[in-house]
């Protein structure tokens, strides 16, 4: 197992992804940065990420040969770890972890040369969110009234992610995608995906081998969407 072979732990840090960047070229592959609280955490597409104590905030340093399905693999690993604890979130493309349509976790993957920092955020035991997030964000605690042991979830996420990372290395991409299909809430659903100025609206058919979402527009045209923010109707 390489993920978690070296651990940097902080009570408070600006962002575990940013700290992981300072370790590039010196820390071994699999190094994890973990923090109880982040003061300047980031989400995808330049958003900020609310990170009070109670959440699982971690970043993993990797040097993969290919990055195509890495974020998908991380999302699947988180989902599968939570399922082990009897929590049953779903995945929204590409790798948002959701419960009752609200986001309880996400993955921010950043690439620097041939290093990849996979940032994982899971709203575990958070009891309230600022007003502006209440409609879109939630936590495992708010959804289930269960308080999970963060250390146990952390250990399992490392283990699961290590396993999926191993599968990526063995080119078992189809197995990872089939797990994603098991967890996703999107198959057969109507979505709108926004990527910059472009919008694709239609029914989700599948996910492609490269991680693109396969969507059929109302005129029957099939689109392979490789980036963007997905809204479930
Ligand atoms: C998303 O927008 O869905 C991705 C959210 C990723 C948040 C995590 S928390 C740990 C790591 N550090 C950060 O600054 N961001 C990621």
- 206 & 98 share domain: no
- Hey, whose CA ends up nearest to atom 3 of ligand 1? 106
- 218 & 201 share domain: yes
- 133 & 43 share domain: yes
Residue 95 CA, closest ligand 1 atom number: 3
Sheet containing strand 96-99, strands side by side: 7-13, 32-38, 56-62, 115-122, 102-112, 96-99, 90-92
Query: Is the CB of 108 inside a 6 Å radius of any atom of ligand 1?
Result: yes
Q: What number is the average pLDDT over the span 181-192?
A: 98
Query: Is the CB of 17 inside a 6 Å radius of any atom of ligand 1?
Result: yes
Structural domain for 132, as ranges: 7-183
Compute, in angstroms, the gap from residue 199 CA to the centroid of ligand 1: 24
Residue 65: give its domain's CATH number: 3.30.930.10
- 52 & 164 share domain: yes
**10-22 residue pLDDT tens:** 999 999 999 999 9
pTM for this structure?
Answer: 0.98
Which of residues 196 and 187 earns the better pLDDT score? 187
**204-229 residue pLDDT tens:** 999 999 999 999 999 999 999 999 99
Which domain-ending residue is among 183, 207, 223?
Answer: 183
| Number of domains observed in the structure of the chain | 2
**32-48 residue pLDDT tens:** 999 999 999 999 999 99
Which domain-ending residue is among 183, 198, 214?
Answer: 183
Residue 47 CA, closest ligand 1 atom number: 2
Contact partners, residue 165, CB within 8 Å, separation at least 6 = 2, 3, 62, 64, 70, 73
Q: What number is the average pLDDT over the span 88-98?
A: 96
- 119 & 194 share domain: no
Compute, in angstroms, the gap from residue 192 CA to the centroid of ligand 1: 23
By the 8 A CB rule, do 25 and 82 touch?
Answer: no
Q: What does the alpha-carbon distance between residue 121 and residue 170 come to, in Å, rounded to a whole number?
A: 26
By the 8 A CB rule, do 208 and 116 touch?
Answer: no
Q: Would residue 37 count as lying in a domain? A: yes
- 195 & 177 share domain: no
- 133 & 218 share domain: no
- 163 & 200 share domain: no
Query: Is the CB of 97 inside a 6 Å radius of any atom of ligand 1?
Result: no
Angle at 20 between CA 14 and CA 26, to 5 degrees: 140
| DSSP string for 34-45 | EEEEESS-B-GG
Q: What are phi and psi of 123, to 5 degrees?
A: -80, 90
Question: What mean pLDDT value characterizes the chain?
Answer: 97
Query: Is the CB of 47 inside a 6 Å radius of any atom of ligand 1?
Result: yes
pLDDT surpasses 90 at 196: no
- 95 & 177 share domain: yes
């Amino acid at each position: 197992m390489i993920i978690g072979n070296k651990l940097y732990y902080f009570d408070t840090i600006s962002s575990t992804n940013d700290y992981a960047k300072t370790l590039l070229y010196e820390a071994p592959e699999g190094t994890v940065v973990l923090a109880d609280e982040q003061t300047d955490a980031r989400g995808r597409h330049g958003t900020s990420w609310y990170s009070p104590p109670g959440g699982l905030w971690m970043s993993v340093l990797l040097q993969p040969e290919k990055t195509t399905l890495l974020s998908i693999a991380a999302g699947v690993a988180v989902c599968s770890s939570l399922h082990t604890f009897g929590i049953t979130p779903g995945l929204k493309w590409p790798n948002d972890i959701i419960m009752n349509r609200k986001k309880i976790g996400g993955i921010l993957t950043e690439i620097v040369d041939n290093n990849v920092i996979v940032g994982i955020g899971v709203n575990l035991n958070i009891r309230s969110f600022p007003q502006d997030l209440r409609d879109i964000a939630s936590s495992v605690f708010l959804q289930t009234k269960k308080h999970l042991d963060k250390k146990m979830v952390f250990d399992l996420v490392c283990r699961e992610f290590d396993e999926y990372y191993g599968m990526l290395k063995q080119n078992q991409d189809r197995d990872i995608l089939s797990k994603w299909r098991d967890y996703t809430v999107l198959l057969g659903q109507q979505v709108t995906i926004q990527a910059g100025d472009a919008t694709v609206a239609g029914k989700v058919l599948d996910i492609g081998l490269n991680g693109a979402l396969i969507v059929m527009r109302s005129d029957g045209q099939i689109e392979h969407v490789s980036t963007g923010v997905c809204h479930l109707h």
